[in-house]
Amino acid sequence: MTETYEIKKDTASIEMREVIVRFNRKPVLNGFSLVVQKGEKVVITGASGAGKSTILRTILGFVVPESGTIHILGEQLTPKTVWHLRTYLGYVPQEPELGSGSVRNWLEMPFSYRANRRLKKNLEMIPDMFHKFLLPLELLDKDVSTLSGGEKQRIAIVSALLLQRPILLLDEPTSALDEMSKRVFTELLYSSELTVLMITHDRELQKIGDREIHIS
């Protein structure tokens, strides 16, 4: 039987309340709370090791907090709901691990999953996306393991956009991009209605944020 979940209207996109995460008994997030409204662009800054990436990984369910609650679009994140709620989240890490196989297969793979099959037509947008991010179409037949850091980052961004997640979690998404690609991505986010929670030291990308949260 397929489980269904009701996403509540007029709720925040992300809500974290008193979240505690410890690694080797050392607190990384110590009672951390955050609310991100729908359509809001929020920038997270802070020193290395302050817990910025842990916030994103906790929202994705990759890190399980010791205590506290997380809600995504009004639904509480639990072991039971995590897989469903990830279908609302797009994630671009700083150094995407793409594995092996062709770029084409890597981009097509998520659409073979039942949750994404209805979006398979979005693959027709690949040529336009590649053009926007200055990627040659010949790249589709290359093995992802041979790509440069900037190419991997752009491919990960293209994948997240093709999946049309309403919430984007971005961890230094422009760190390996050239200036033109940075500009394209920044303008795209600025003009979108997406909810964005991003870690970035890119001053131009920070400017599109509605607010900034500093983690110390």
Q: pLDDT tens digits for 53-84?
A: 999 999 999 999 999 999 999 999 999 999 99
pTM: 0.88
Mean pLDDT computed over 95-101:
85
> Looking at residues 184-205, what average pLDDT do you find?
92
Note whether residue 1 is domain-resident: no
Question: Is 178 within a domain?
Answer: yes
| Residue 54 neighbours by CB under 8 Å, 6+ apart | 21, 28, 29, 63
pLDDT at residue 26 is higher than 50? yes
Q: What is the mean pLDDT of the chain?
A: 90
Predicted pLDDT of residue 99: 85
The tens digit of pLDDT for each residue in 128-146 reads 999 988 899 999 999 999 9
**Confidence bin at 22 (pLDDT 50/70/90):** very high
With bands split at pLDDT 50, 70 and 90, how would you rate the model's confidence at 48?
Answer: confident
Structure tokens given for 69: 């609650």
Q: Is residue 22 part of a domain?
A: yes
- Whether the per-residue pLDDT at 6 is higher than 50: the answer is no
Residue 139 domain boundaries: 14-215
Instruction: Compute the average pLDDT of residues 162-173.
Output: 94
Cβ pair 162, 126 in contact under 8 A: yes
What pLDDT digit, counting tens, does each position of 99-135 carry?
889 999 999 999 998 888 899 999 999 999 999 888 9
H or E element in which residue 15 lies: strand 14-23
Residue 164's SS3 state is coil
CATH of the domain at 146: 3.40.50.300
**Which among 86, 104, 206, 100 has a CA at the least distance from the CA of 159?**
104
Q: Structure tokens of 128?
A: 């336009």
In this structure, is residue 6 part of a structural domain? no
SS3 107: helix
Q: Please state the domain count of the chain.
A: 1
User: DSSP label at 71?
Assistant: E
CA–CA separation, 35 vs 38, rounded Å? 10
pLDDT computed for residue 163 by the predictor: 93
pLDDT for the residue numbered 122: 94
- Which amino acid belongs to residue 199? I
Q: Nearest-CA neighbor of 132 among 185, 190, 189?
A: 185
Place of tokens 């049309």: 164
Identify whether 3 is part of a domain: no
- Domain for residue 184, yes or no? yes
